[in-house]
Chains A and B, each alone.
Chain A
């Protein structure tokens, strides 16, 4: 049942990304060249919505569906935050897609995105393979 809910939330997220054109290669070009507000508007409304949601869950002491306490997400600094993010940024400019949009584009019937997705899986595997030689 809970697994089904993750599928439904994923579908909602994917629909919002598609209809918001956040999975559009053209929109990414516009964003990276600062020639339109659309993508920035999406980030500037998505983040406060998420922040408000987390705040309300905490303040109202809401328990999760399984009765657990809500845990605040924590992100820890490591050097990969800088190095890895730059590498990802180059790939994002090349493909016009981050990981989420790759799945979405495959669902929308773009076979070429399936190739990008396979390459991204290979990239993740290569990182795992060479992790020990890289600065953390």
Chain B
């Protein structure tokens, strides 16, 4: 029980995440990937005669069941077995975030930035809406995200996935270094 309440070290969480790749292949020849479910939902809800969304989405609906599982996993890990302590990030990061008036608090996201009321501010629109738009747009353009390219693609030794992973890390590192401090200061 204690194991479920406490956060898992990287050497436990990493292999658990990785084992999902062969597990999905073994169960149904499925390739781990999550951004594809966004395409699925678009095809189901608002295809609007767009070629990208004109396909038999019901046939590949396994990723919607997988997404439902993810929501359940989040409920288990974030509510039922919730870690009451703040995440143990490095003191340097804590100091940096404090300098941007983002104190370290328990939970997955800083409540001061990620709450629905933020939609009344420019900062909130940038973090929640623009951020989400870029995630959805970019992952579809790249045909994969951290799971599809970063975990599955690299596990299958696919060089385009290595390139994709390098590019989204580069994008994240550059943005965090040069743009995000400015947005957090808004």
Which residues on A are within 8 Å of B, measured CB to CB?
2-30, 32-39, 41-51, 53-54, 56-57, 62, 64-66, 68, 70-78, 80-100, 102-113, 115-129, 131-132, 134
Contact = CB atoms under 8 A, between A and B. Distances in A.
A77 B13 contact: no
B132 A120 contact: yes
Nearest to B82: A108
A20 B7 contact: yes
A107 B75 contact: yes
A84 B48 contact: no
Contacts of A44: 14
A5 B69 CA distance: 9
Contact of A26 (B28, B34, B97, B159): B97
Contact of B87 (A24, A104, A117, A132): A24
Contacts of B167: 81-82, 85-86, 89
A131 B65 CA distance: 27
Interface of B: 4, 7-32, 34-35, 37-39, 41-42, 46, 48, 50-53, 62-63, 65-79, 81-83, 86-87, 89-90, 92-93, 96-97, 104, 108-110, 113-116, 118-119, 126-147, 149-161, 163-177, 179-180, 183
Contacts of A15: 73, 76-77
A11 B73 contact: yes
A90 B184 CA distance: 14
B72 A16 contact: no
Contacts, number: 518
A41 B76 CA distance: 23
A13 B71 contact: no
6 contacts: A2-B27, A20-B7, A45-B14, A87-B141, A102-B132, A104-B70
Contacts of B83: 19
A14 B28 contact: no
Contacts of B68: 7, 10
Contacts of A109: 75, 78-79
A18 B108 CA distance: 8
A32 B27 CA distance: 34
Nearest to A18: B77
A87 B143 CA distance: 12
A13 B20 contact: yes
A54 B160 contact: no
Contacts of A22: 13, 17
B136 A121 contact: yes
A136 B146 CA distance: 20
Nearest to B47: A128
Contact of B132 (A76, A81, A117): A117
B19 A84 contact: no
A107 B78 contact: yes
Contacts of A88: 134-135, 137-139, 141-142, 145, 168, 171
B168 A86 contact: yes
A125 to B, nearest CB: 5
